């Protein structure tokens, strides 16, 4: 069975994937992070025993694939990092690429983002979507997107290497940091506290990937013939804001009202239709089992204790 190295193993989406590998009985997982002691503590809490090391040790153990999860998942943190996101992204991309050049048979999966399409999303992304930035008016909200796009450009310039950029748009897990500034975490905090959620009026459509579907996509990608390209992640169906709010109100008693958005709330840019219609991943046999709304219900039940969260 192939050995898989995971860079950024402390990230939420990486840890969910590690748990999925463990449930499937995959023995060959190598974990790398900035703080191995904390990572070992997380492993112990989940009954895992994979090898753990810091980034300086990467490359010493042979492996067949490397998954790079190093980055910023929280828009608030992305805004705080500012231009520092470029250096962090390139540092760990370079780390993976150096190993790939020495071992050209190795697979490299880079966790990219739907933000690489730019910040517009007046319509959902698709195979023919063009990326647009204003080079004479770049702002902090553009840095994250450009860092991901820059990495993807570097990867396409190495066509002989097996590199896949997986663009994640939205993702939700029962282990989500509820202090992160995402719309779904704002909802869950309001449910827990009983506060009224104030949300801006207008259309917003999101596609929330469930951990099981992300695991399915990664395993199908690693089992497919080597290739160099990008794939958009998607659930069985996206969900619009009104339907999500209604479902959370019915299931958990969420109270909400429309209110103007505070200035600067969208750290990476407003995205009314932040999802993709590109279904190239289906060519790998990927068939998501969960819609966005069903995936949210499953994971939110685990967080809140079920409908009405009366077991909290």
DSSP-assigned states of every residue in the chain: ---EEEETTTSHHHHHHHHHHHHTT---EEEE-S-HHHHHHHHHHTT----EE-GGGTTSS--SEEEE--S---HHHHHHHTTHHHHHHHHHHHHHHHHHHH-TT-EEEEEEEGGGGBS--SS-B-TTPPPB--TTS--HHHHHHHHHHHHHHHHHT-TTSEEEEEEE-EE--TT--TTS--HHHHHHHHHHHTPEEEE--S--EE-EEPHHHHHHHHHHHHHSPP--EEEE---SS-EEHHHHHHHHHHHH--EEEE-PPPTT--TT---TEE-B---GGGGGT------HHHHHHHHHHHHHTSGGGTT-
Which of 133-137, 207-211, 242-246, 283-287 bottoms out in mean pLDDT, i.e. has the lowest?
133-137
pLDDT classification of 233: cutoffs 50, 70, 90: very high
Q: Which residues pair with 108 in a beta bridge?
A: 66, 163
Q: Which two tokens stand for residue 146?
A: 């450009």
Provide the whole-model pTM.
Answer: 0.92
With a cut of 70, say whether residue 53 has pLDDT above it. Answer: yes
Q: Quick one: angle between helices 183-193 and 292-304, nearest 10?
A: 40
Higher pLDDT, 127 or 82: 127
- What tens digit of pLDDT does each residue of 111-125 get? 999 999 986 789 999
* CA pseudo-torsion sign 283, 289, 294, 300: negative
Q: Using CA atoms, how far apart are residues 120 and 268, in angstroms rounded to an integer?
A: 10
Q: What is the pLDDT of residue 311?
A: 38
Percent of the chain at pLDDT exceeding 90: 76
- Residue range 149-169: average pLDDT? 97
- What tens digit of pLDDT does each residue of 55-101 get? 999 999 999 999 999 976 665 666 667 788 889 999 999 999 999 99
Q: What is the pLDDT of residue 137?
A: 85
Give 137: exposed, middle or buried? Use CB within 10 Å, 0-12, 13-18, 19+.
exposed
């Amino acid at each position: 069975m192939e050995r898989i190295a995971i860079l950024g193993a402390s990230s939420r989406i990486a840890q969910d994937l590690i748990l999925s590998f463990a449930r499937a009985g995959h023995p060959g997982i190598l974990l790398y992070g900035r703080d191995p002691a904390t990572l070992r503590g997380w492993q112990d809490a989940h009954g895992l025993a994979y090898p753990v090391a810091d980034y300086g040790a990467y490359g010493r153990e042979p492996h067949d694939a490397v998954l790079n999860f190093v980055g910023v998942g929280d828009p608030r943190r992305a805004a705080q990092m500012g231009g520092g996101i470029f250096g962090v992204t390139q540092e760990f991309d370079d780390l993976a690429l150096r190993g790939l050049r020495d071992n050209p048979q190795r697979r490299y999966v880079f966790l990219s983002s739907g933000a690489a399409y730019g910040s517009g999303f007046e319509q959902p992304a698709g195979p023919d979507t063009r990326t647009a930035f204003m080079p004479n008016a770049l702002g902090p909200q553009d840095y994250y997107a450009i860092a991901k796009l820059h990495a993807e450009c570097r990867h396409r310039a190495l066509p002989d290497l097996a590199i896949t950029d997986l663009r994640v748009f939205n993702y939700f897990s029962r282990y989500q940091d509820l202090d992160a500034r995402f719309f779904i975490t704002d909802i869950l905090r309001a449910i827990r506290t009983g506060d009224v959620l104030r949300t801006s009026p207008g259309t917003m459509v999101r596609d929330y990937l469930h951990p099981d579907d992300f695991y399915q996509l990664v395993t199908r990608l690693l089992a497919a013939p080597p290739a160099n390209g990008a794939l958009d992640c998607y659930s069985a169906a996206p969900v619009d804001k009104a339907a999500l709010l209604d479902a959370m109100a019915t299931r958990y008693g969420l109270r909400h009202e429309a209110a103007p958005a505070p200035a600067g709330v969208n750290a990476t840019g407003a995205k009314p239709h932040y999802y993709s219609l590109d279904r190239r991943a289906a060519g790998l046999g990927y068939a998501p089992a969960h819609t966005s709304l069903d995936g949210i219900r499953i994971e939110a039940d685990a967080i809140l204790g079920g409908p009405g969260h009366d077991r909290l």
